[in-house]
Amino acid sequence: MKLQRDVYIAGVGETVFGKHKMDYDELGRMAAFQAIKASNIQGPGMIESAYVGNAHNGIVTGQTIFKDIGICGTAPIINVESACSAGAMAVHLAIKDVAYGLTELSMGVGAENHTLRRKSGTAFMPAMNDIEAVHGGVMTGKYAMRATRYMHETGATQEDLALITQKSRRHAKNNPHAPFGGDYSIEEIVNSRLVAYPLTLHQCCGIVDGAGAVVVCSGDMIKKLGIEKPVKVRGSVVTSGPYHNRPRDITGDDITEMTSAMLYEESGIGPKDVDILELHDAFTIAELLYYECMQLCDKGDGLKFLRDGQATYGGQCVVSPRGGMLSYGHPIGASGAAQVAAQVKQLRGECTGYQVEPIPKVAMTHVTGGGLSGTEHAACTMHMLSSDW
Amino acid sequence: MAEKKKIKREKEPDITFYHPDLLEVPEDGLPYLKGYKCKKCGQLDFPKLTPCPTCWGEEFDMVPLSRRGILYSFSDLYIGQPGLKTPYICGYVDLPENIRIFAMLKGEVNTFKCDEEVELTTGPIRMNEDGLPIISYMFQKV
């Protein structure tokens, strides 16, 4: 999307992630109201449109979240679904409204409660009209096959994959929003319960609940709100996954390669200039492959990039500074918006106990969506943000 | 008072064979998968895509696909779909026709390897709503 004018993020909100008794609407409202207060918004009349990402919690989710906020009746509220990409897509659509001059201030929210509804001990899967789902396909299996192939081609081991978990858990250790942070040994990670060979439990994102929210606005509005640390949206890209039933290299990811290339071009910011990155690390293998797909390093050098410490504090790009999906868990419709919220807080230096130092200037987010057969992913949404003060 | 007529709807039995359009099991022969070749542009697909996504052609010739292929990747699944017995195994099989098939693999966990040859077979992939197995395509070691 070519931004037609400057768009800024005024404020963000995120809930603690984990198993909640509060349903998605309460979580979503909590994150949204946090973002509203952080943006110095004085009343509901200032919010001109809202987009809400959710995957599994039913119908009119956005209106249900926003009814107490007081914009039902005054602003269009549009519900967005694209599996894991939904929350990021909601943020993208809010940006689009402001970028094209349709609104001065809009909101993107992602909210999801899985645990109130979902039977534990089962894996997420595409819809049953999908030919792979009928034949037993699940998301864990899809990523596990990528890991199997990657290990076959490169000689990488389960222990290598476990390094990703170890790093993410360490990043999340002092983040109060992340339930799975801590110091873990490689043995603990590799010896945890086998979910889908070669992926063990600690290499898979947890099924949890949570929400994230983002307020975006124009240049005039950011001044009017008196925001001291405006975060500029440098690029926002949504793509759909190339569809075909021919062999493809699953140690790559066509849609992530395509989307990141578009984002670099749109933002004028290259892969080596990104200070912090939240990506779709729903499973360890994904993060490893995406270093290469997003050109943080050359093809084939992903494991070296990790081992050399380039993806952690002091490295080229701190990947998953909040702890990623591996340490937050992954409420499907919420994660994309929560990633943006966490990155904005990093850029503003607000992450006491888990702040990346020196304070980063450029942040990127990436979240794919859905396991439609014939695609690597049905959707992908990426954002590029930078501090602008 | 007129007696209300009770209309009892007979529930249609659920399927026990997955998609005759995609899989043929001859009585006196080996099973094969059915590819569909677009009459307009020649693109071959499995499963059948209507219209042809390349040229929007709507007519196709059925082409029996090779029964053997190469196992590109696989996973032994210990946590699976709701209702499916675990562990089960899934994999991607690349056929010589430049088509990749996702399927369940028949065999034991810890035994499959990338790039080994596998062949088409059939077997139960799940239970239907009546509690009967649904038969579809699977692959096994040659």
| Helix or strand run (H / E) with residue A115 | none
The number of C-beta contacts closer than 8 angstroms across A and B is: 107
Whether residue A240 has pLDDT greater than 80: yes
pLDDT tens readout for residues A279-291: 999 999 999 999 9
CA B51: distance to chain centroid?
A: 20
Whether residue B50 has pLDDT greater than 60: yes
Chain B residue nearest residue A144, CA to CA: B75
Angle at A8 between CA A6 and CA A10, to 5 degrees: 155
Chain B positions touching A131 (Cβ under 8 A) are: 47, 102
pLDDT of residue A157: 97
Our CA-based measurement puts residue A288 at a distance from the nearest CA of chain B, in whole angstroms, of 18
Q: Residues B22-25: contacts with CB within 8 Å, 24+ apart?
A: B22/B46, B22/B47, B22/B48, B22/B137, B23/B122, B23/B136, B23/B137, B24/B64, B25/B122, B25/B135
User: What does the radius of gyration of chain B's CA atoms come to, in whole angstroms?
Assistant: 19
Whether residue A266 has pLDDT greater than 70: yes
DSSP A52-75: EE-SSS-SSHHHHHHGGGT-TTTS
Among the partner residues B74, B79, B90, nearest to A121 by beta-carbon distance: B79
Whether residue B16 has pLDDT greater than 90: no
Tell me the one-letter amino acid at A363.
A
Whether residue A145 has pLDDT greater than 80: yes
Chain A positions touching B125 (Cβ under 8 A) are: 134-136
Contact at CB, A137 and B102, closer than 8 angstroms: yes
| Cis amide bond preceding B124, omega within 30 | no
Tell me which residue has tokens 């978990």: A165
Q: How far apart are CA A334 and CA A330, in angstroms?
A: 8
| Helix or strand run (H / E) with residue A49 | strand A49-53
| Cis amide bond preceding A358, omega within 30 | yes
In the predicted model, what is the mean pLDDT of residues B89-102?
Answer: 98
In the predicted model, what is the mean pLDDT of residues A47-51?
Answer: 98
- Alpha carbon dihedral A261, A267, A270, A273, in 10-degree steps, equals -140
Q: Which of A129, A135, A191, A372 is the best residue to mutate to test the B interface, defined by the most B CB atoms within 10 Å of its own CB?
A: A135
Asked if residues A3 and A237 have their Cβ atoms less than 8 Å apart, the reply is no
Burial class (CB in 10 A: 0-12, 13-18, 19+), A234: buried
Tell me the one-letter amino acid at A283.
F
Question: Any catalytic annotation for residue A217?
Answer: no
Residue A341 backbone dihedrals phi, psi, to 5 degrees: -60, -45
pLDDT of residue B3: 58
Angle at A293 between CA A291 and CA A296, to 5 degrees: 40
C-alpha distance from residue B69 to each of A243, B94, B101, B111 (Å): 21, 5, 9, 17
Task: Indicate the average pLDDT of chain A.
Answer: 96
Burial class (CB in 10 A: 0-12, 13-18, 19+), B78: buried
C-alpha distance from residue A128 to each of A110, A133, A232, A354, B5 (Å): 25, 6, 41, 41, 36
Q: How far apart are CA A362 and CA A355, in angstroms?
A: 14
Whether residue A253 has pLDDT greater than 80: yes
Q: Token digits for A243?
A: 């569809």
Burial class (CB in 10 A: 0-12, 13-18, 19+), A155: exposed
CA atoms in the 13 A half-sphere facing the CB of A331? 36
Asked if residues B118 and B142 have their Cβ atoms less than 8 Å apart, the reply is yes
Contact at CB, B80 and A148, closer than 8 angstroms: no
Asked if residues B38 and B57 have their Cβ atoms less than 8 Å apart, the reply is yes
Whether chain A has a CB inside 8 Å of the CB on B96: the answer is no
Chain B residue nearest residue A249, CA to CA: B72
Written in H, E and C, the secondary structure of A205-237 is CCCCEEEEEEEEEEHHHHHHHCCCCCEEEEEEE
pLDDT of residue B2: 54
Our CA-based measurement puts residue A172 at a distance from the nearest CA of chain B, in whole angstroms, of 26
Whether residue B8 has pLDDT greater than 90: no
More confident residue, A88 or A119: A88
Written in H, E and C, the secondary structure of A303-319 is HHHHHCCCCCCCCCCEE
Whether residue A37 has pLDDT greater than 90: yes
Q: In percent, how much of chain B has pLDDT > 90?
A: 75
pLDDT of residue B18: 85
pLDDT of residue A124: 76
Chain B positions touching A247 (Cβ under 8 A) are: 72, 94, 98-100
Which is it for the CA torsion B54, B56, B61, B62, positive or negative? positive
pLDDT of residue B111: 98
Chain B positions touching A145 (Cβ under 8 A) are: 73-75, 90-92
pTM greater than 0.90: yes
Range with the poorest average pLDDT among A22-31, A124-133, A228-237, B65-74: A124-133
ipTM: 0.94
Contact at CB, A123 and B80, closer than 8 angstroms: yes
